[in-house]
Structure 1
Amino acid sequence: MMRLLLVVAFLVVPVLEILVFVQVGQAIGVWPAVALLAAGSLLGALVVRREGRKAWRKLQDAMQAGRMPEPGAPGGAMTVAGGVLLAVPGFLTDIVGLLFLLPFTQPLVRGLGARFLARRIENLTRKTAGSGLGSPFGDVGSPFDVMRDQRPGSGPVIHGEVIRDEPDRPATRDSSRDLTGR
């Protein structure tokens, strides 16, 4: 379903952009319309460049301080996405890009995005659970299941051979005990 939606979007959006450009060109003239598209693309490129530099600086600062870089804030990702949409030529993508950039519309767009992602995750989980396939993580379950209820010594016993290399004695083999010392 998502692939079909993407194909339709890639086919419909360019056609709509051309229709809107023709309408704007008839209303204000072709060259002013082209100038507006060029200005939008330039603004988008500048926004993406500025946000990219900001993210690069944060990464360098974190590395120099010897700490893990902070995960990107949703506002920064939205700003980059808005800049990319502005850089794409077209009035419709410029409008959506501006919605991502303007401070008073960002909370609305962020809320819509969060709801969309939550719905997608819920649908994927429901589809996987209802199909008899088990966990979305395969037969092993969730990676977090391994950490749950683990106590030292509660895991499986692995039988093996202990080889001790001591500098003052030759290597000896002790196969009478397993690796847990039993």
Structure 2
Amino acid sequence: MLGILLLLFILIPTTELALLLFLAGATDPLFTLALVVVTGVIGSMLARNQGFATYRRIQSEFAQGRMPTDSLFDAILISLAGVLLITPGILTDLTGFALLIPFLRKPIKAWLIEWGKKHFHLTTSATVDGFTTDSPPSPAPDTEILDSYVVEARKED
């Protein structure tokens, strides 16, 4: 994993620099500089607006008593888009703008979820009657847990 990260930290900036130098040679260096600045400014404004809209959606879902998992994932991707857009480069800007467009963000989000399901495994454990189990006991199918808490007994001296 460290090797992949090291490769990415070398490969991405090198590719970005090569693309910027190519664009500066094909057009004008001032145009290339202006493009980097304008995409950074426009991207940060878009990320800010979408971030606030997502924040309001998260608050609304919490107020309705729902867990805003989809909105939280959108917030993470919008934050990532903002970081990519303020990073100078062509590929990072394209990726950042793709994460800001909702109909493009949806398949990216679906792909990331599937990738996470393949590469990460969630296990839980619980202690029941002094024994540790790999997963907590399931309630009976026709019961509902309304509230629960742990009470610790204190020994009196």
Match 2:137 to one of 137, 143, 147: 147
* Contact residue 41 and residue 87 of structure 1 kept, 8 A: yes
How high is the TM-score relative to the length of structure 1? 0.59
Residue equivalent to 1:24: 23
Deviation at 1:113, TM superposition (A): 1.6
Structure with the greater alpha carbon radius of gyration: 1
* Contact residue 79 and residue 101 of structure 1 kept, 8 A: yes
Deviation at 1:55, TM superposition (A): 4.1
Matching residue's letter, 1:24:
L
Cα separation, partners in 2 of 1:22 and 1:140, compared to 1, 3 Å = farther
Matching residue's letter, 1:6:
L
**Structure 1: 5+ residue stretches without partners:** 126-134, 151-159, 164-182
Map residues 11-160 of structure 1 onto 2, 5 A cutoff: 11-58=10-57, 70-73=68-71, 74-121=73-120, 140-142=132-134, 145-148=135-138
Query: Tell me, what secondary structure is at the counterpart of 2:69?
Result: coil
Cα deviations by residue, 1:52-78 (Å, 9 ceiling, x for unpaired): 323444466677x59576335244443
Q: How many residues align?
A: 139
How far apart are the structure 2 equivalents of 1:161 and 1:75? 45
How high is the TM-score relative to the length of structure 2? 0.67
Deviation at 1:5, TM superposition (A): 1.1
Query: Tell me, what secondary structure is at the counterpart of 1:31?
Result: helix
**Between Structure 1 and Structure 2, which shows a larger proportion of helix residues?**
2
How far apart are the structure 2 equivalents of 1:62 and 1:161? 39
* Identical amino acids, percent of aligned pairs: 20
Matching residue's letter, 2:68:
E
Cα separation, partners in 2 of 1:140 and 1:46, compared to 1, 3 Å = farther
Moved over 4 A (4+): 58-63, 65-69, 160-163
Matching residue's letter, 1:40:
T
Q: Which segment drifts farther, 38-47 or 95-104?
A: 95-104
CA RMSD of aligned residues (A): 3.6
Cα deviations by residue, 1:76-127 (Å, 9 ceiling, x for unpaired): 44333223212211111011112222344333322322232122125xx7xx
